[in-house]
Structure 1
Amino acid sequence: MEFSAFFKGLTISSLSAVLALASFGPQQAQGQKQPDTAKMPWMNKALSPDQRADMVLSQMTLDEKIQMVHGTGWGVLRAGDPIAPGSNFGAGYMLGIERLGIPGINMADSAVGIRMAAIQSRYATLLPSTLGAAASWDPDAGFLYGSVIGREARAQGFNMSIGGGLDITREPRNGRNFEYAGEDPVLAGVMTGELARGVKSEHVMSDIKHYALNDQETGRTVVNVLLDKRSMRESDLLAFEIAIGIAKPSAVMCSYNLVDGDHACENDYLLNQVLKKDWGFKGFVVSDWSATHSTVKAALNGLDQDMPGDDNYFSDPLKKAVEDGQVPAARLDNMVHRILRSMFDAGVIDNPPVRSVVDPFRGRDDAQHIAEESIVLLKNSGDILPLKADPSTSIAIIGSHADVGVVSGGGSAQVDAPGGNVIDPKPGPSPWGQTIYFPSSPLRYIRAKSPQSNVQYIDGKDNTAAARLAKSSSLAIVFVTQPMREGVDAPTLSLPDNQDALVEAVAAANPNTIVVLETGGPVTMPWAQQVKGIVEMWYPGIGGAQALSNILFGDVNPSGKLAVTFAKSDAQLPHPTVPGLEAKVKTTGDDQHHEVAPFDLKYTAGAAVGYKWFEETHKQPLFPFGFGLSYTTFAYSSLTVDDATRTAHFTVKNTGQREGTEIAQLYVALPPAAKEHFKRLAGWQRVELAPGESKTVSLTLNPLYLSIFDTAKDAWQLLPGDYKVMAGASSSDTPLNATLHVQP
């Protein structure tokens, strides 16, 4: 795909910035002469990662071991902190052991692309939000997503990615939902697992975070989450179990919050009993930044590395605890072994990063492909879409800086825009808390699709002026945004800045109104019945405008389906207001943290997250989980289930006039003995169909997805009985039913 169109859309300053950021001189990550490793037996690639780690460990001094289990401070992320030799100006850095040929670990924040690139005049691709990518329901897209991050991390000298967000959408107003993969543990686990696997495929260490139950930003450092163990294992922890099984990530990052009275980073149940014992996780547990609260307790209860390390819990205090016998020497060895093993396993020692020019063309093409699979068509009344390139058509483009760019998510996930924020161009790192727009102009690409049409833009700040332009146009496309970022939850599901009134004014002036959503999560739409088209494009990344225009004009048939439920109102949620929001005391520093008094948060919904909650409480959402329209239609038939193999077979037919991809979904309701009153997602398949074509879908049911967690036995149990198997287009549209019989 040509990238020249992207460059044409940039200002001179932005274009210069892209070229400058994409090219930089080579630097050595360690900055010192590397030792001759030829005589080091652990450099034998034929040995297993465990063998190699043990051989290195046997040669290490106590001080060297201590050096590996903590970072070197915030560095460039906090003014005035020293930069350790070999640091790559990333989120964190662990000093290597040069005499043993062990490099340092340079960590990059990389939820949706490599953060802080501009500080060293680098360029990084902004990918669509991971919530958007989850809406593709495409594991291959998840793998591609991770490989882009890994590829660009290597090019910039990083050997570890800090991404892989996997906190399910218990709180739809969570400011970081755009970094996660939705409300269902199976879909989220598979997509995030593939992402982390993609990172590792580029010889970059991967992590999965934030473990666990860090499902809101409000009070995140003080909230004590209370949830029974069965519900925990069948929801939030199930997502991690699935992802870790797929990716075998290098690390798992423990979260800020408390769980059942203990901080997550010193929680024996989470770290030792579940993660390391039950799941057999062989990587290391790294703390979220400043989420460590002790030395002995944290070390004994499963934390392996303290980041960023400036709190000194795992430096001299840990050394003294080992010398005094409070922390066994064997435990310290295990901590170091896990880190070394992960380094060998990912290949960062055998294949260290070599700085090179980040390819912005390739990155944009990959981002656009993911965005095209992620965009969800929510409403298409009267087949207003796809649009036709008609010289007699006039189109009003309204709102949300659609003339110049697309919005991105903020916080530690913020990727630097080339040339700076396109609505306020200032080269350099993105300021914390500022809403950043990237140079991908919907207006320009819509004009390019219909060059002879009269396409005009207005900013939408004046509802009357916007309605006037809409009334004089053949159709109106209103862009609305929900900027979200780390550290702050949205107070409600409503669009901010009175954008609902803008949509209502435009829709009243022109019945042919289409709304394009750029959101970090679900929002309410009081105007949904007044408009003809609704398109959810999430935070679409650097190729977002191109992807959107291809969807709007039918060059790409939309196939995305929601990974989250869209409620009609906040009143439908388990918590009508964000827990702890009313207890906010003050905002401090750079606004990363909101100081609140410690409080308990009891998740009374249990495992009934998202669509399961709506089904259990008999509520009808605005748009259900798994929903998404196409420019063609599909029909389902002939569901059968083989009890012996636990495989479901059914047929999907394209009953429309154009080629399309259907995401065929399989759900299961457990026998009455399970005592749950909702269906579970048990599988899906993307099915590409020509007009009139039929295909048989075969999905083998994973016993884990059908099991309950028996807390008395501390084990998964597949109950005997009859399981209702359902197939269809969404969680609320399952026309096919069959029965799976599980024998005692």
Structure 2
Amino acid sequence: MSLHPKALLAAFVLFLLSLINASPTVKRDPVPTGYVAAPYYPAPRGGWLSDWSESYAKAVRLVTNMTLAEKVNITAGTGIFMGRCVGNTGSAPRVRFPQLCLQDGPLGIRNTDHNTAFPAGITVGATWDKDLMYARGAALGEEFRGKGVNIALLPSVGPLGRKPRGGRNWEGFGSDPVLQGIAAMLTIQGTQEQGVIATIKHLIGNEQEMYRMYNPVQPAYSANIDDRTLHELYLWPFAEGVRAGVGSVMCAYNAVNGSASSQNSYLTNKILKDELGFQGFYMTDWLAQISGVAAALAGLDMSMPGDGSIPLFGNSYWMYDLSRAVLNGSVPVSRLNDMVTRIVAAWYQMGQDQDYPEPNFSTNTQDREGPLYPGAVISPRGVVNEFVDVKGSHAEVARAIARDAITLLKNEDNVLPLSTNTSLRVYGSDAQANPDGINSCSDRGCNKGTLGQGWGSGTANYPYLDDPISAIRRRASSVTYSSSDTFPLIQDPVSENDVALVFINADSGENYITVEGNPGDRTTAGLQVWHNGDELVKAAANAFDTVVVIVHTVGPILMEDWIELHSVKAVLFAHLPGQEAGDSLTDILFGDVSPSGHLPYSLVRREDDLPASTQLRGFAIGQPQDTYTEGLYIDYRYLLAQNITPRYAFGHGLSYTTFSFSNASIEQLTTLSTFPPARAPKGTTPQTVYNNTIPPASEVYYPSGFRRINRYLYSWLERPAADAAAHIGATNSSTYPYPVGYSETEKPGPRAGGAQGGNPALWDPIFRVSLSITNTGERAGRAVVQAYVSYPTGTGWDTPPLQLRDFVKTGVLEPGESEAVEVVVSRKAVSVWDTTVQDWRAFTDAGESGYGIWLGEAVDDLRVVCLGSGGCEEVDG
């Protein structure tokens, strides 16, 4: 993300407060017993995996020829608003390494033009369609590349959606690690196949927006997560992203177990780089860095946007200070070399050394010309926008996702689909485009008109918005529309044949913008719909015999006020459809396509049906503590364990047709051992050829006669400062207080590692279930097959009753047509994380037939169960 001007003003106020307050980063606040961020040093060097060997070899050759200033220059941004992109690294033009452009966001290129505003991640999750997940990633990659973006800040899988009120849940794919992980993996593959470096974010525990950031008067909240929960839930999608070869990982703002994510050596060095074998570079979220040397030692590779905690003062934790820290010996040259090599290797890995376009847009202005460095007091001007059209045919992908995500929750009396001759009365401002202009609110920081996106840095400008009311009018012969969110007191007489379409929504976003009292998280609104939506539905239900409710929402809502009203016949969740909100909806409303979306989260009857620990954390003196006492039990896992019936279960979604599951069979593909086979030892890294002695101070002297841009961040030092630092390094007189447990002896690597994502044996297929899906209804449609695993009983391990492990979506089946499908269950999918052994454990002593693989169209609509290597049978009821 980059900060909005209002956020910069708040940052300045905090800067003033910092003059009379001590820094909060000096000492950690205590966290509850058992939540540990143990020291783990040094940062593992990259390049030991064959998948990256060629790129690392090239990177080492390039980095060997760099000066100290050149190396430092590409590890950080040049300052906020100091370039065309949301983030701009330094460059090393002498060795032909360019400035890298980093740009938001997960659903499209932020703050530019001639781009596609794709459906949000939560909408993609609701499709349960692996092909569309990949296609969206590829289309995003094409657009980012077309604009000259080197590093796309996508996908988002943190937050996982633990807290229904969390502001940015909609950027991810749903409240389940497997759904998130598969969608992230396919998004990364699609994006990086276009040559763009993807960035999976935010590692880890960014489950709410309030109090997420460190500031001079209060530390960010600490997400306190036990080791097993971390691995089995929150780390899972990141492991899938690393397995896909993601080039970059972005830290969270918050702390994890008391240690800031930007300098948490356990999280970065041990888990990400050693256990998961991550070969790319670890970067900060914008202004998330809180120290210089400590962050470097703990495994941080890139600082964005380069400023210190308070931007636009020309200060930095790195750049010139990193040059100083290397010269004085505080940061080992080997650590800097690894930082730089990881960045350069990712650049080579994506082929960006071959004819990659330069940025041709500005995220700071929509004008053709403007300041080249808007953050500077005085900046040279020039052309900053070439208005390159990168949309291609991507509207087709966007519309397919928006359409196939639409989730039919209720359809009494088969009210849907509608006839185009039906008399329609449409209500609610959400049916129309924002009357102030579709892009009138910066970063979509308002809730006016059709809700196609949440708000914040994860948004994109609309090239156009196909709004629902326009699409309905194109299709239906009789349409009247009231754009008010209050039911009209006087209107034309209502006929019994009239159908009311009521549009309502619920919004959220990132916390540098507050919308209608909600500072990112849904603090004021809760899980209620916005703008008096409940009352609008009830009033329509009182006036009409048939009401269809269409919901655009960032996530779960409560609907108990009206869901059982006699007149409310049908409910459609259209999620966040992006630019294609209109025809995608009318395709479903009028029966051109049968709905095939399924919920990526549960809809509860009341908010306290969920664990109290998953509510938002409020203000605290010192560091707020967000302790995950519910462990593995979030969303449907908790509801099942507590025998709580939701209003609509995770995975729920109706169709205009019906499907049968038949001819199921299970095959054991691999013999299951308690622990995976031993990992291969770490390979050698080409970084061993580096000369890791401190270089001469002259490598960072400011060039003679160089004309500086004020506030621009440089890696050079004035000669006296460079010489003083070099003297300390030469005399070994550095007084830097190294953290407890610091070491420069590289570790062999944990047993659970071995490749990108972990031990490759974790993805060995253990069971394959084959079955036939038949359309037993009268309309064409697509079915979603969801595969859940239940673990053997009597193991002594606490496991949720059911956990999603795979899914597949059929093609369009005509009435009577069948399709054979397969789901695969891997070793990891039948394992738990053993916190003592520090490896994934399966239950062979309970007998492999003790595992149950449950297949159905929702977690509460299971049709078939297969028991280990035994057989499969239909589920009764």
Normalization by structure 1: what TM-score? 0.84
8 Å Cα contact 1:124/1:416 also seen in 2? no
Q: In the TM superposition, what are the counterparts of 1:630-709 in structure 2 within 5 Å?
A: 630-645=655-670, 646-672=767-793, 673=795, 674-688=797-811, 689-709=813-833
1:13-36 deviation per Cα after TM superposition (whole angstroms, max 9, x unaligned): xxxxxxxxxxxxxxxxxxxxxxxx
1:278 alignment partner in structure 2: 275
Shift of 1:727: 0.8
| Corresponding residue of 1:196 | 188
Question: Distance in 2 between the 1:260 and 1:223 partners?
Answer: 10
Cα shift readout 1:511-542 (whole Å, capped 9, x = no counterpart): 21001111111111121122111111111011
Q: Is the Cα–Cα contact under 8 Å of residues 408 and 539 in structure 1 kept in the other structure?
A: no
Letter in 2 for 1:572: D
Q: Which residue of 2 aligns with 1:236?
A: 234
Say yes or no: does 1:399 pair with 2:424.
no
Query: Which of residues 102, 108, 114 in structure 2 aligns to 1:107?
Result: 102
Q: Mean alpha-carbon deviation: is it higher for 381-390 or for 695-704?
A: 695-704
- Per-residue deviation, 1:317: 2.4
Matching residue of 1:528 = 563
1:463 correspondence with 2:454: no
Deviation at 1:159, TM superposition (A): 1.7
Closer, same or farther in 2 for the Cα pair 1:183/1:432, shift >3 Å? closer
What is the match of residue 302 of structure 2?
A: 305
* Of 477, 481, 486, the match for 2:510: 486
Q: 1:99 to 1:255 in 2, by over 3 A?
A: same
CA distance in 2, matches of 1:433, 1:466: 41
Q: Which has the larger radius of gyration?
A: 2
**Residue by residue, what CA displacement relative to the aligned partner does 1:315-344 show, whole Å, maximum 9, x if unpaired?**
222222222222211111000000000111
Question: Matches of residues 567-646 of structure 1 in structure 2 within 5 Å?
Answer: 567-575=604-612, 578-581=615-618, 583=619, 597-645=622-670, 646=767
Q: Which runs of 5+ in 2 are unaligned?
A: 1-51, 214-219, 309-315, 361-386, 512-519, 671-766, 871-877
- SS at structure 2 position matched to 1:528: coil
**Secondary structure of the structure 2 residue equivalent to 1:700:** strand
Q: Specify the alignment match of 1:219 in structure 2.
A: 211
Question: Structure 1 regions of 5+ residues with no counterpart?
Answer: 1-45, 76-82, 425-429, 585-595
Find out whether 1:383 has 2:418 as its counterpart: no
Question: Structure 1 residue 577: deviation in Å?
Answer: 7.5
- Following superposition, the deviation at residue 480 of structure 1 comes to 0.5
CA deviation digits over 1:653-676, x for unaligned, max 9?
211012211011111111232321
Cα distance change of structure 1 residues 162 and 469 upon mapping to structure 2, 3 Å threshold:
farther
- Quick one: which of 823, 826, 837 aligns to 1:713? 837
SS at match of 2:660: strand
CA shift in 2, pair 1:660/1:574, >3 Å: same
Provide the C-alpha distance between the structure 2 equivalents of 1:252 and 1:480, rounded to a whole number of angstroms. Answer: 36
Superposed CA deviations along residues 57-95 of structure 1, whole A, max 9, x for unmatched, are 1001111111111101110xxxxxxx3xxx32x210002
Give the structure 2 partner of residue 159 of structure 1.
150
* More moved, 528-537 vs 456-465: 456-465
Shift of 1:166: 0.4
Quote how far apart the aligned CAs of 1:350 are: 1.3
1:567 match: secondary structure: coil
Paired amino acid for 2:603: F
Are 2:547 and 1:519 aligned? no
Structure 2 counterpart of 1:171: 163
Query: Structure 2 matches for 1:3-18, cutoff 5 A?
Result: none
Shift of 1:469: 7.1
- Counterpart for residue 475 of structure 2: 449
Task: Give the match for residue 600 of structure 2.
Answer: 563
Asked whether 1:329 is paired with 2:333, we answer yes
Could you list the per-position Cα deviations for residues 422-468 of structure 1 after superposition, in whole angstroms to 9, with x for gaps in the alignment? 899xxxxx999999986322112112112xx2201102333243886
Residues 148-183 of structure 1 deviation map (CA, whole Å, 9 limit, x = unaligned):
222222222222211210021101111111111111
| Conserved? CA contact 1:178–1:409, under 8 Å | no
Query: Cα deviations across residues 215-237 of structure 1 (Å, max 9, x unaligned)?
Result: 11122121111111011100010
Q: CA RMSD in A?
A: 2.9
AA partner of residue 607 (structure 2): D
Give the distance between the partners of 1:351 and 1:597, measured in 2 at CA: 50
Residues 457 and 510, structure 2, Cα contact 8 Å, conserved in 1 = no
**1:627–1:665 distance in 2 versus 1, CA, 3 Å:** same
Counterparts in 2 of 1:422 and 1:412: CA distance versus 1, 3 Å: closer
Between the aligned partners of 1:621 and 1:154, the Cα distance in structure 2 is 43
Deviation at 1:389, TM superposition (A): 1.7
Distance change >3 Å, CA 509–CA 171, structure 1 → 2:
same
CA contact (8 A) 1:74 1:92 kept: yes
Q: Give the aligned partner of residue 199 of structure 2.
A: 207
Following superposition, the deviation at residue 408 of structure 1 comes to 12
Pairwise CA distance, 1:258: 0.6
Q: Pick closer, same or farther for the CA change 1:363–1:466 going to 2, 3 Å.
A: farther
The corresponding residue for 2:123 is 132
CA gap 1:467/1:193 in 2 versus in 1, 3 angstroms: farther
Change in 2 beyond 3 A, CA 1:503/1:610: same
SS of corresponding position for 2:582: helix
Distance 1:423 1:469, change over 3 A: farther
Q: Encode CA deviations 1:594-642: one digit per residue, 9 max, x unaligned.
A: xx85211111121222111111121111111111111110112343322
1:465 match: secondary structure: coil
CA distance in 2, matches of 1:272, 1:410: 41
Q: Aligned partners of 1:159, 1:191: CA distance in 2, in Å?
A: 22
Contact 2:106 2:459 in 1 (8 A): no
Partner of 2:75: 69
Give the % identical residues.
Answer: 31
Deviations 1:493-526 (A, max 9, x none): 1112221011111011112100111111111112
**Which whole-Å CA distance do the structure 2 matches of 1:411 and 1:341 have between them?**
40
- Which whole-Å CA distance do the structure 2 matches of 1:731 and 1:134 have between them? 15
In structure 2, relative to structure 1, the CA distance for the partners of 1:58 and 1:621 (3 Å cut) is same
* Matched-pair contact (CA < 8 Å) for 2:805–2:829: yes
SS at match of 1:217: coil
State the partner residue of 1:550. Answer: 587
In the alignment, is residue 51 of structure 1 matched against residue 174 of structure 2? no
2:163·2:208 contact (CA, 8 Å) conserved in 1?
yes
TM-score relative to the length of structure 2: 0.71
What letter corresponds to residue 443 of structure 1 in structure 2?
I
* Residue 350 in structure 1 maps to residue 347 in structure 2: no
Larger mean Cα displacement after TM superposition, 154-163 or 51-60: 154-163
